[in-house]
Amino acid sequence: MRMTLRTALLLGAMVGTATLTMEDAHALEKGKGKTELQKNKPFPVIQKGKGEAVAQKGKVEPVARTSSSRSSASRGKVEPIAGKDKALPPTRHGMAAPLARQDKSGVRVAESASVARIGKYASPEASGGLTHTFQKKNLTKVLAGHVDLWQDPGRLAVQSGSALVIAQDGGEPLYEKNANAIVPVASITKLMTAMVVLDSMPNLQSPITISDEDVDYLRGSRSRLGVGTVITRETALLLALMSSENRAANALGRHYPGGLPAFVAAMNRKAASLGMSSSHFEDPTGLNSNNVSTAHDLARMVAAAHHYPLIREFSTTPGVRTEVKGRELDFHNTNQLVSSPTWEIGLSKTGYIQEAGKCLVMQARVADKPVVIVLLDSAGKQTRIGDANRIKRWMESASVTGKLPTRV
């Protein structure tokens, strides 16, 4: 009896164990099937605006994150990068449209194309899904190069080597940087040339002839006033101030009573009379690097030159067409800002030689205040223009907030 009971119990235990093992095996197999099913199942397509990317035909289409959009908007109203079925902003020659920013007055301002260029757009198909990375990289570079556009009104970053912003009637400078450094001034010299010519009370309609003595053999600069060209003294003065014509300026000096040596002596006497104690001139063009001055001295010269109506008119003329040896030629102002509707410029002169860098002096009304702006030794092609625009924004921003620009 006991033997039979033991046998029954042993058989029951074996059957229960086998049953449990089979159930576990079925569960394990079922779980494995689910795992394989999930592994082979494609990822769900994420709707636009709710994910980072859409997997389609092996290509990744960039979709902007919501948080990324907010971050970009706070830095200058930059729209998020569009998806495949969303059009990018209007472009010209493949370049991105100008960015918009919002200044402290709440006015949205479209930045210039040079600031806003983000780089050529490449479609996701052509770039293998790298469009977002490419544009973000270039945008970061642009913003880093123009970070001063978002600076506080009290801060001003000027790239020129020497700079000065001062009220036209003098007083304490609003801004200065190396303003007492004695440096070559290039064609800024021509403002002094014009004053000395006009002080001699010449007949502006009398003809003067361009000769071989007026040719620039020092630097080889080009001119469309060929040897033998006959123009009036007035035309020569206009071309010297507006287009920085070296041969015209030198011819004006040669036709001065006593010739070129007397003219240069008169230039230095005029500088001394204006209190330009750190200035010296050796030619009427500025091609000679021994023509030197400081930003402070040049501010005095600009303020004095502004009293001459012809200098004001000629230096701010956008362009003219004149006859040269029987041909009509167009001449343009070397300062593009005189044609800008956002500037009110009363006098202007640019200059450049290698030793001086890019130079610009202006009398202008900025934030309803007449000022003299001097920018010397700029390295980049547009640095002096960029500096002038930064100064203007800085003064206008201070005016909007009711605070006068403080001396920096």
Which entry of 244, 279, 348, 378 is annotated as an active-site residue? 244
Which entry of 72, 177, 190, 397 is annotated as an active-site residue? 190
Give the separation between CA 318 and CA 275, rounded to whole angstroms. Answer: 31
Task: Using alpha carbons, select from 132, 120, 116 the residue that is nearest to residue 95.
Answer: 120
> Residue 353's beta-bridge partner residues?
357
**Is 50 labelled as part of a ligand binding site?**
no
Burial classification of residue 133, based on how many CB atoms lie within 10 Å of its CB (0-12 exposed, 13-18 middle, 19 or more buried): exposed
- Ramachandran region of residue 149, left (φ > 0), alpha (ψ -120 to 50) or beta? alpha
Task: Using alpha carbons, select from 193, 190, 236, 223 the residue that is nearest to residue 348.
Answer: 190
**Catalytic residue list contains 190:** yes
In terms of DSSP H, where are the helices of 153-308? 189-199, 233-242, 246-254, 259-273, 295-305
Angle at 144 between CA 143 and CA 145, to 5 degrees: 90
**Catalytic residue list contains 30:** no
**Catalytic residue list contains 340:** no
Which residues are within 8 A (CB) of 327 and not within 5 positions of it... i.e. 6 or more apart?
none
**8 A C-beta contact, residue 313 and residue 345:** no
Angle at 38 between CA 35 and CA 39, to 5 degrees: 85
Burial classification of residue 84, based on how many CB atoms lie within 10 Å of its CB (0-12 exposed, 13-18 middle, 19 or more buried): middle
Which entry of 72, 160, 187, 243 is annotated as an active-site residue? 187
> What amino acid positions are annotated as catalytic residues?
187, 190, 244
Residues in the annotated binding site for substrate: 349
Residues in the annotated binding site: 349
